Structure 1
Amino acid sequence: MRILITGANRGLGLALSQVGAERGHQILAGVRNIQQSEASLTQSEINKSISLLPLDVTDEESVTSAANTVKENFGTIDAIINNAGVLLERDKQIEDLDLDQMKVTFDVNFFGPIRVVKHFLPLLMMGDRSSIINISSEAGSISNAYAGDYAYASSKTALNMFSQQLNQYVKSKNINVYAIHPGWIKTDMGGVRAPGDPMDTAKGIFDIIEGKREIGSQNVFITYEGQPMPL
């Protein structure tokens, strides 16, 4: 399969790119800076199936250009993994929130996936078994809401709603849509205390994309192991 991954140069995005390449998929690694990403993504034999793609999810012109590049060079894609994300205002109380940082968070975590789907969905619809994976978080669960992470949690809740709406739109076209909680994993965002390995999460996500896990939930919000998450 040919799979687009945003934020592919580090953390979970890097693990997803590596696992996908190891499983024989063609990875279109969306990154903001090609030069800074070459060392991590293209320096091994297996990574020759990874193609770097200039892509800034906050810039619609960049997303449009990336979609045109993929159309001209590859024609179609089989899956989108909207992985790019930020965690800002982590320790701020509501009285101290910087609303400009809130806007940045939503621009990356919520509007970013919308921009990507908007421009890449026509390429995805050409396939016969396609997936859209939006990397969400347990912080986006309304029923398990907690005081804190206002920007991040709210953006992920919005992403979950978008995923549910998108699923209704494309389910008749044999496209699966999931908002996936990746677990607390060791990345720049998750920190060194996190118990999870991003490679394990990446393997679980590819099991879902490849149809190796049966998803029984009616909601699109699930864990990387395919278990339902509370909305």
Structure 2
Amino acid sequence: MQAGDYKMRILVTGANRGLGLALAKFGAEKGHHIVAGVRDPEQGREKLSDLEIPKSITIVPLDVTKEDSVIQAANFVKEQFGTIDAIINNAGILLGRDKKIEDLDLEQVQLSFDINLFGPMRVVKHFLPLMLLGDSSSIINISSEAGSIENAYGGDYAYAASKTALNMFSQQLSKYVNGKNIQVYAVHPGWIKTDMGGINAPGNPNDTAKGIFDLIEQRPAVESKYVFIDYKGNPMPI
């Protein structure tokens, strides 16, 4: 049985806007139950309540920079659902765009790592035990082509370095859960129209959301030596 053949419980972090909102909407429309992790529940409820399938979405307070918040969210999910089938670590931040190294704000670099790398690590640390109870699970860490060492372009220091580190974490995690029916991918979502991507981006977050759910449902045959892939399942240059 493929993962998409039954209703799954899927955690999406940063679910109140951009790609996270598209993921929550797409997953709920497919009949899955979305646990929408949002830093500000009121703001998240305002966005997510506009969707036509609110009963398939449970909003959970979740600030990935605060371990206590992640622990509380994991405890809530355990009490309500027992297990979870997939994690999409979508929450991310892009700071210091196009800054020269001489002008770089290192506090922004620290915050970038706190959200883009340590955030997914905190989430996996506390949600992985819930996934190990399931039969077929997925961890999708939203990465970026900016994290490719091979294609480094000499800018966006904080963002690029944090995504490269996220790719390594994903690779290490994949080795750790090998044989436990958990697939792990670091996924480049494409350049898409979101607050982060901007209005000039050619891609649509809905297309990316579909691709990510195809990966979770194990429908494309992913042929990659490493876990860094794009949303269509194609290998990304390390």
TM range (shorter): over 0.9
Q: Deviations over 1:132-156 (max 9, x none)?
A: 0000000000011111000000000
Regions of 4+ moved over 6 Å: none
- The answer as to 2:37 corresponding to 1:30 is yes
Counterpart selection for 1:169 from 166, 176, 183:
176
- The answer as to 2:118 corresponding to 1:111 is yes
Counterpart selection for 1:184 from 182, 188, 191:
191
Correspondence for 2:219: 212
Correspondence for 1:223: 230
**Alpha-carbon distance, 1:44 to partner:** 3.7
**Alpha-carbon distance, 1:38 to partner:** 1.1
Aligned residue type for 2:26:
V
Name the Cα RMSD after superposition.
0.7
Secondary structure at 1:27 match in 2? strand
Secondary structure at 1:172 match in 2? coil
Q: Among all aligned residue pairs of Structure 1 and Structure 2, give the percentage whose two residues are the same amino acid.
A: 71
Give the 5 Å matches for 1:126-137.
126-137=133-144
Counterpart selection for 2:23 from 16, 19, 24:
16
Distance 1:84 1:130 in 2: 20
Distance 1:199 1:143 in 2: 28
Distance 2:14 2:45 in 1: 13
Secondary structure at 1:179 match in 2? strand
Aligned length: 231
Distance 1:162 1:211 in 2: 21
Correspondence for 1:84: 91
**Alpha-carbon distance, 1:212 to partner:** 1.1
Counterpart selection for 1:142 from 146, 149, 152:
149
Distance 1:21 1:180 in 2: 21
- The answer as to 2:147 corresponding to 1:152 is no
Distance 2:193 2:83 in 1: 33
Distance 1:191 1:182 in 2: 14
Q: Deviations over 1:142-179 (max 9, x none)?
A: 01111100000000000000000000000210100000
Contact 1:18 1:47 in 2 (8 A): no
Contact 1:42 1:48 in 2 (8 A): no
Contact 2:91 2:116 in 1 (8 A): yes
Distance 1:114 1:206 in 2: 21
Counterpart selection for 2:105 from 91, 98, 107:
98
**Alpha-carbon distance, 1:211 to partner:** 1.1
TM-score, structure 2 length as denominator? 0.96
TM-score, structure 1 length as denominator? 0.99
Q: Which moved more, 1:191-200 or 1:32-41?
A: 32-41
**Alpha-carbon distance, 1:22 to partner:** 0.5
Aligned residue type for 1:141:
S
Distance 1:130 1:117 in 2: 12
Contact 1:131 1:177 in 2 (8 A): yes
**Alpha-carbon distance, 1:69 to partner:** 0.7
